[in-house]
Amino acid sequence: MSISPVKAEEVTYFAEMPPYDDKWTLVGGSNYPYADANLSTGRLAVFMFPFTGESSSAQVKTWKRVWLPETDLEITYSWRLKGYLMCGLYLSFTGVDLYIFVEKSLNSGTINETTLFYKYVDLVWEYQDSINIPWTFPDPIVVSIPEAGYYNIGAGLSGRAGGFLASCVFGGEEDYGAWVSMKLRYTCAVYWDRSGYGTINVELPDRTMHLHDCLPITTFHDAGTPVKITATPDNHFQFDYWELDGVNQHANELEFILHENHIVKAYFSWVNNPPNTPSTPSGLTSGYVYTTYSYSTSTIDPDGDNVRYELSWGDGTSTTTGFYASDTAASASHSWTRPGTYQVKVQAQDVYEAWSSWSNALTVSISQNDASTGGDAGNNFTAATSISPGSYLGTLYQSNPTDTRDWYQSTLKVGRSSIYI
């Protein structure tokens, strides 16, 4: 009896798993079978020499050791088989079995074994059956993988014969043998979560997911799927780091190939940026005491928060405005009571009480009014300025930084006489 085991043809895996290992393994037999491997063609011939009345058997396997998560493994496969079974002139038996299997690695037991072809005849004579089954494409099978770990996935061929001139021939001559082509598909579960507020962007070959309000969530994807993830923080949050299967990753952009289940968590932290430094106050740079002037400014808050402004007038007083939208002009008014030079500056505060830096100062020069508008008329009577009746609507006396008196003159008509005061 001779056996040609599985030939790996056009084997494709979703999970970037290469084809079967480059070896065919004789895993059992009797009567000292002789095995001959030809790796260039993927064929292994096993020759057995049963004597009259004796029996002989052989079993060969080929497989690939792969890592699998706890998942449902879908196996798409096709196969063909060619050979013959024969019994002699006396009661004999012969048989062949072609199958695919999934077993836990390191001899931990078979998870699934699916028979592709099986035939056994017993107590027959003068029997011969030529078997030539072309490529067959059955429906895929689904195997439940109970736990994550390494598994052997492959195919096996076994044959046996006994009695007078019995044989089982599926290799070693012509194109006899068995061939199996397999494709594996399984899904990986990814558990998404976050600490803080932001969006997890998941780029897949066929679509992009933006995970936000629905978190936490578990999604399922074909093994072998390339994944790229980035994080977009919400307003007032910043991205800190990823936690991928318990290991911190600080780069915002991560890429990996799905071949097992993952737990992905994004960490965001709350942050508030202060407003930018406001523009230098805009307004007149000279004026008079007791006259009201208006000054305006604006700034941008990086977080888009509303802001209010505190304008310092340089005389020990300040004015705080109400809240304005970011990048909106605000204004405030002020009058000075003493002549002098004043530095007007402004700072901004957002709704979370973060202050900006002070702006550059605007220099404003304030002087006394002349007599026509109500101010210093001079320091003595001679220098006093004449004021026409009804022309002055202000306060005649103003405090003076250099003296205690100011002189004004005016004409009052009483009857036909003029009185100077």
pLDDT tens string, the chain, 421 residues long: the values are 333 334 433 333 333 333 444 455 666 665 555 444 443 343 444 444 455 567 777 787 878 888 888 889 999 888 888 888 888 777 788 888 999 999 998 877 889 999 999 999 888 777 888 889 988 899 999 999 998 889 988 888 888 887 777 777 776 566 777 778 888 888 889 999 999 899 999 999 999 999 998 889 999 998 889 999 999 999 999 999 999 999 999 999 999 999 889 999 999 999 999 999 999 999 999 999 999 999 999 999 999 999 999 999 999 999 999 999 999 999 999 999 999 999 999 999 999 999 999 999 999 999 987 544 444 444 444 444 444 444 433 334 344 444 444 444 444 444 544 444 4
CA distances in angstroms from 355 to 140, 206, 412, listed in the order given: 66, 47, 58
Distance, in Å, from the CA atom of 271 to the CA atom of 419, rounded to the nearest integer, reads 74
Question: With contact defined as beta carbons under 8 Å apart, do 77 and 100 qualify?
Answer: yes
In sequence order, the β-bridge partners of residue 386 are 409
Q: pLDDT at position 320, please?
A: 97
Distance, in Å, from the CA atom of 82 to the CA atom of 130, rounded to the nearest integer, reads 8
Question: With contact defined as beta carbons under 8 Å apart, do 42 and 60 qualify?
Answer: no
The angle formed by the CA atoms of residues 56, 61 and 100, to the nearest 5 degrees, is: 110
Question: With contact defined as beta carbons under 8 Å apart, do 318 and 358 qualify?
Answer: no
Pairing relationship of beta strands 177-195 and 262-270 according to DSSP bridges:
parallel
DSSP string, 226-237: EEEEEEEEPTTE
Q: Which string of b and e fits 48-83 if b means at least 16 CB within 10 Å?
A: bebeeeebbbbbbbbbbebebbebebbbbbbbbbbb
Distance, in Å, from the CA atom of 225 to the CA atom of 280, rounded to the nearest integer, reads 56
Give the H or E element holding residue 81. strand 71-87
Question: With contact defined as beta carbons under 8 Å apart, do 303 and 272 qualify?
Answer: yes
What's the pTM value of the predicted model, to 2 decimals?
0.60
Task: Tell which residue, 278, 361, 348, has the closest CA to residue 315.
Answer: 361
**Tokens read off for 374:** 């109500």
